[in-house]
Amino acid sequence: MPRIQFAVQSSRRSEVLDITDEVSAKVAAMGVEQGLVCVSVAHCTCALYVNENESGLVADTLRLIEEMSQRNDWRHDRIDDNAAAHLAASIIGSSVVLPVNGGRVELGTWQRIMLLELDGPRRRRVTVQVVADGS
């Protein structure tokens, strides 16, 4: 199973970064024609999702996360003041699985692979692993 990692650097506490082009390039370099790609982050305070990269929607995503987690009594905050980041990442998830067809990641017209930074700025490691179709 081909596997490649790359780094993403965030610049703000919370932000959304489009990693579609980087993931697509990694998948193309692997030479797998048909299968599945799993894109994952091995971090507890960032997440991955698939959606449109439109500025209003990105702002709405960040606002929704902020509004969902606005509290001043999270127990984990006693340790390192990032409970909201942990909780949001848990709800959204740390990976996405997508089909690979013709050597390319299959996405809808407006779909993009988005990394959601929740506790930045930080350097994040993204893993791209492809499982080739054996049939």
pLDDT tens sequence across 88-124: 999 999 999 999 999 999 999 999 999 999 999 999 9
Q: Which distant-in-sequence residues (6+ apart) come within 8 Å of 72 by Cβ?
A: none
pLDDT band at 19; cut points 50, 70, 90: very high
In contact, 99 and 27? CB cutoff 8 Å: no
Q: What is the pTM of this model?
A: 0.93
In contact, 68 and 89? CB cutoff 8 Å: no
Residue tagged 């606002």 (tokens)? 63
User: Which domains, from first to last, does the chain contain?
Assistant: 3-132 (2.60.120.460)
| Neighbouring C-beta atoms of residue 10, cutoff 10 Å | 20
The overall average pLDDT reported for the chain is 93
